[in-house]
Amino acid sequence: MRIRFSLLLILLASFPAIAGKLYSWVDEQGKTHYGNTVPPQYAQQGNAELNQKGAVVKKTDPALTPAQRKAKEEELAQQKEEEKKKLEQKRRDKALLNTYTTEKEIDL
């Protein structure tokens, strides 16, 4: 009896190490499913990796559609252009500050 109880405790203690990763995903009907692996048909729809207590450890966003990808690229290009303009303005301001020591020198 004592040996069986000890073996049961050892088995239960080792269960979290054996369990591995747990994932959750949502199907077409909006139902949430849980499993050790995400089925291939749901891999591109986004999923979450959970720890043994069920808390989200890592979230994978859904794959972007071509329209979303294009919009994101345009947004990044716009941000890059704005950053370029800011850097150019800083360069010009610095050149003015290095050229003139007072405001009176700027006035003609």
Tell me what pLDDT residue 18 has.
54
Report pLDDT for 90: 96
Closest CA to 45 of 32, 57, 27, 22: 27
For range 86-101, the mean pLDDT: 92
Contacts of 37 (CB under 8 A, 6+ apart): 23
pLDDT tens, 17-63? 555 789 988 888 989 898 898 898 888 888 989 888 888 888 888 88
Region 57-85: what's the mean pLDDT? 93
User: d(Cα 92, Cα 103) in Å, to the nearest integer?
Assistant: 16
CB 26 within 8 A of CB 43: no
Mean pLDDT score, 78-105: 92
Which of 76, 73, 94, 72 is closest to 84 using CA atoms? 76
pTM of the model: 0.48
Instruction: Identify which has the larger pLDDT, 68 or 19.
Output: 68
Q: Which residues pair with 60 in a beta bridge?
A: 47
SS (H, E, C) 27-47: CCCCCEEEECCCCHHHHHHCE
| Domain boundaries along the sequence of the chain | 20-63, 66-106
